[in-house]
């Protein structure tokens, strides 16, 4: 089932300037996430920014907007958005990967689901992350690099879900279906 016309139109408009301006993608992702996680089903799509640093001070270095989907009040999914140019920069992709790992660290103690999913969005391309509570593993795995510049620690191939293709739409819908199934199951208290 294709995305609604207003979602597609918003992504088309964002693509015009979204190569360097990530804010161009805030509206399309708002539309997409509300479509996938409707408020009438009890979900809340909640933009958050900026993040706090290790000393609990607001960090304005990277003003990335993070969309957190809550059900009913606990995080069940989140998306962090970067502009299209990030795909063509090793350091940009590595930074996006590091931010996702920090977000999991921020959320993990407040999650009741057995698996927490997150998505790093570079324009309309997603890299899906998942943290398994039982195994305590985060996928995709961290690629250690040390000081070797020859190692691509966040390869572009990880952002392999293009939400504007039928295959990408199906992959994202499968993740959302799994999240919703977990949300309807009784979860143990923490």
Torsion of CA 99, 85, 169, 34, to 10 degrees: 60
Residues 35, 39, 41, 46, CA torsion sign: positive
pTM over 0.85? The answer is yes
How do residues 49-97 score in pLDDT, each as one tens digit?
655 555 655 444 455 678 999 999 999 999 999 999 999 999 999 999 9
Give residue 48's pLDDT: 78
pLDDT tens digits in sequence order for the chain, 190 residues long: 899 999 999 999 999 987 888 889 999 999 999 999 999 999 999 987 655 555 655 444 455 678 999 999 999 999 999 999 999 999 999 999 999 999 999 999 999 999 999 999 999 999 999 999 999 999 999 988 766 667 888 999 999 999 999 999 999 999 999 999 999 987 666 5
| CA-wise closest residue to 126 among 117, 115, 134, 137 | 117
Torsion of CA 44, 116, 107, 168, to 10 degrees: -70
For 159, the token pair is 């952002």
Cα distance between residue 153 and residue 163, in whole Å: 23
Number of H helices, E strands in the chain: 4, 7
Instruction: Report whether 42 contacts 72 (CB < 8 A).
Output: yes
């Amino acid at each position: 089932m294709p995305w609604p016309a207003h979602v597609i139109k918003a992504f088309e408009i964002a693509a015009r300037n979204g190569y360097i301006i990530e804010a161009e993608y805030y509206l399309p992702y708002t539309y997409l996430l509300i479509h996938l996680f409707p408020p009438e089903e009890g979900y809340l799509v909640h933009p958050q920014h900026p993040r706090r640093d290790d000393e609990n001070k607001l960090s304005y270095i990277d003003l990335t907007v993070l969309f957190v989907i809550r059900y009913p009040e606990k995080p069940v999914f989140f998306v962090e958005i970067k502009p299209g140019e990030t795909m063509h920069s090793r350091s940009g992709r590595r930074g996006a990967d590091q931010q996702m790992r920090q977000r999991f660290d921020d959320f993990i103690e407040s999650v009741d689901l057995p698996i927490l999913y997150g998505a790093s969005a570079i324009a309309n391309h997603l890299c899906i992350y998942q943290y398994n509570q039982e195994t305590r593993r985060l996928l995709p795995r961290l690629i250690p690099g040390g000081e070797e510049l020859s190692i691509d620690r966040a390869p572009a191939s990880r952002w392999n879900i293009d939400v504007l293709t039928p295959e990408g739409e199906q992959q994202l819908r499968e993740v959302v279906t799994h999240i919703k199934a977990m949300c309807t199951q009784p979860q143990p208290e923490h």
